[in-house]
């Protein structure tokens, strides 16, 4: 078994290395210089569009996927206060349903308009694709682009979410990106953190901020090959288990990603985009990166808790809703 695993890693590393090599030879720097040496003014009319920006945005990460399931009209009539993007995989039917029936229930927050969207790619198993399609026809809360859904493609899922908000919901005020095994204390998120009656923030980004560096141990879930990311530090980034930002940032990140080389760790990647944009994420201790045993009073103080199963999600939600009158 271990030899099989290391073979797989080796293969991944080789693939990335060849991808990097390919990108480095296909970048248009040299041909651009070639053009510059031609006496352009006399002979050719230079198109107005021929700029460094175009060259830069053309190559690294075009994200040229198409939506195969979309909800383009979800935002048309009302601009939501908060859009929640939930990264999920095909088989997590129960987890999606648990979220719909608990904290993701769009109808439980009074006149504060919430939108819940589940993000998926395409599965290699077409039966699962069809099941998700049917689920989408019932609930209309699923968005799918045609990239292969895999752990290594999580970053594409996040970029798709940013693209969706920027394209179909640009008037939203705030966006949260989270996972399907996260419990979200919506009261704290809405009323303590985002405060609907205050002036909307811009270029705002918050979550559980991690100041760290790449893990070079191949056995780690967060392994980062040196040739993909040579620096010894990452820019500050928010744990992908849950981060919240003002909706203007969605478009900024999407556009920045088009000329930022992909990394498979989506939260690190978003951190890299934020650094380019000169946006600094705020630390907020309400976002919990780790699991936390349930207690009513403890969960009343948090914004997110990680590693919650669908059954726990229901239990926690029912307990918290039925004990609203209890004081801690
Ligand atoms: C310039 O860019 C715009 C949009 O990006 C495009 O529609 C137009 O055709 C381009 N013009 C030239 C001369 O390339
Ligand atoms: C990610 O998605 C792309 C586009 O569908 C695909 O070519 C690639 O194989 C996927 N990567 C992984 C690791 O699944």
pLDDT tens digits, residue range 270-321? 999 999 999 999 999 999 988 999 999 999 999 999 999 999 999 999 999 9
Residue range 166-191: average pLDDT? 97
Name residue 67's beta-bridge partners.
145
Q: Please tell me if the CB atom of residue 147 comes closer than 6 angstroms to any atom of ligand 2.
A: yes
Q: Is the pLDDT of residue 74 over 60?
A: yes
Alpha carbon of 147 to ligand 2 centroid (Å): 6
Residue nearest to atom 13 of ligand 1 (CA): 47
Reported confidence tier of residue 78, pLDDT bands at 50, 70, 90:
confident
315-323: long-range contacts, CB 8 A cutoff, minimum separation 24: 316/102, 316/183, 317/101, 317/102, 317/103, 319/294, 320/296, 323/296
Residue 118 near residue 92, CB atoms below 8 Å:
no
Please report the pLDDT score of residue 318 as a whole number.
Answer: 97
Residue range 83-108: average pLDDT? 97
- Sign of the torsion formed by the C-alpha atoms of 179, 180, 185 and 188: positive
- Sign of the torsion formed by the C-alpha atoms of 117, 123, 126 and 131: negative
Alpha carbon of 68 to ligand 1 centroid (Å): 27
Q: Is the pLDDT of residue 144 over 80?
A: yes
Q: Is the pLDDT of residue 219 over 90?
A: yes
Reported confidence tier of residue 37, pLDDT bands at 50, 70, 90:
very low
Mutate to test the pocket of ligand 2, among 152, 158, 160, 266 (most ligand atoms within 8 A of CB): 152
User: Which ligand has its closest atom nearest to the C-alpha of 46?
Assistant: 1
Fold topology of 66-322: Spore Coat Polysaccharide Biosynthesis Protein SpsA; Chain A (3.90.550)
Residue 83 near residue 169, CB atoms below 8 Å:
yes
Residue 87 near residue 120, CB atoms below 8 Å:
no
Q: φ and ψ at 252, to 5 degrees? A: -60, -45
Q: Please tell me if the CB atom of residue 237 comes closer than 6 angstroms to any atom of ligand 2.
A: no
| Closest atom of ligand 2 relative to the 152 alpha carbon | 13
Written as six digits, the tokens of 118 are 């589940």
* Helix, strand, coil % over all residues of the chain, rounded to 5: 40, 15, 40
Q: Please tell me if the CB atom of residue 148 comes closer than 6 angstroms to any atom of ligand 2.
A: yes
Q: Which of 27-36, 43-52, 61-70 has the weakest average pLDDT?
A: 27-36
Instruction: State the number of CA atoms in the 13 A half-sphere of 44 facing the CB.
Output: 10
Residue range 133-148: average pLDDT? 98
User: Which ligand has its closest atom nearest to the C-alpha of 19?
Assistant: 2
Mutate to test the pocket of ligand 2, among 150, 154, 160 (most ligand atoms within 8 A of CB): 150
Please report the pLDDT score of residue 217 as a whole number.
Answer: 96
Please report the pLDDT score of residue 39 as a whole number.
Answer: 41
Q: φ and ψ at 147, to 5 degrees? A: -100, 160
Residue nearest to atom 5 of ligand 1 (CA): 49
Q: Please tell me if the CB atom of residue 19 comes closer than 6 angstroms to any atom of ligand 2.
A: no
Q: What are the extents of the domains in the chain?
A: 66-322
């Amino acid at each position: 078994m271990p030899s099989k695993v290391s073979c797989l890693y080796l293969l991944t590393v080789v693939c990335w290395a060849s991808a990097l090599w390919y990108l480095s030879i296909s970048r248009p720097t040299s041909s651009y210089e070639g053009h510059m040496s031609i006496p352009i003014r006399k002979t050719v009319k230079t198109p107005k569009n021929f700029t460094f920006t175009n060259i830069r945005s053309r190559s690294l990460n075009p994200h040229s996927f198409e939506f195969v399931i979309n909800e383009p009209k979800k935002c048309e009539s009302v601009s939501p206060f908060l859009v929640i993007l939930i990264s999920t995989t095909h088989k997590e039917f129960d987890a999606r349903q648990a979220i719909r029936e608990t904290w993701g229930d769009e109808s439980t927050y009074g006149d504060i308009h919430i939108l819940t969207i589940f993000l998926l790619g395409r599965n290699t198993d077409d039966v699962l694709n069809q099941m998700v399609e049917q689920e989408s026809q019932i609930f209309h809360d699923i968005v799918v682009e045609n990239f292969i859904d895999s752990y290594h493609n999580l970053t594409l899922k996040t970029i798709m979410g940013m693209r969706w908000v920027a394209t179909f919901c640009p008037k939203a005020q705030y966006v949260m990106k989270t996972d399907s095994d996260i419990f979200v204390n919506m009261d704290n998120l809405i009323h303590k953190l985002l405060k609907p009656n205050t002036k909307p923030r811009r270029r705002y980004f918050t979550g559980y901020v991690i100041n760290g560096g790449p893990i070079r141990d191949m056995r780690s879930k967060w392994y980062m090959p040196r040739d993909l990311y040579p620096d010894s530090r990452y820019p500050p980034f928010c744990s992908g288990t849950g981060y919240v930002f003002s909706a203007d940032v969605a478009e900024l990140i999407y556009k920045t990603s088009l000329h930022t080389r992909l990394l498979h760790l989506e939260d690190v990647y978003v951190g890299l985009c934020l650094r380019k944009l000169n946006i600094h994420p705020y630390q907020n201790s309400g976002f919990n990166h780790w699991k936390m045993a349930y207690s009513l009073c403890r969960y009343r103080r948090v914004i997110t808790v990680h590693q919650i199963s669908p059954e726990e999600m229901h239990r926690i939600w029912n307990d918290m809703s039925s004990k609203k009158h209890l004081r801690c």
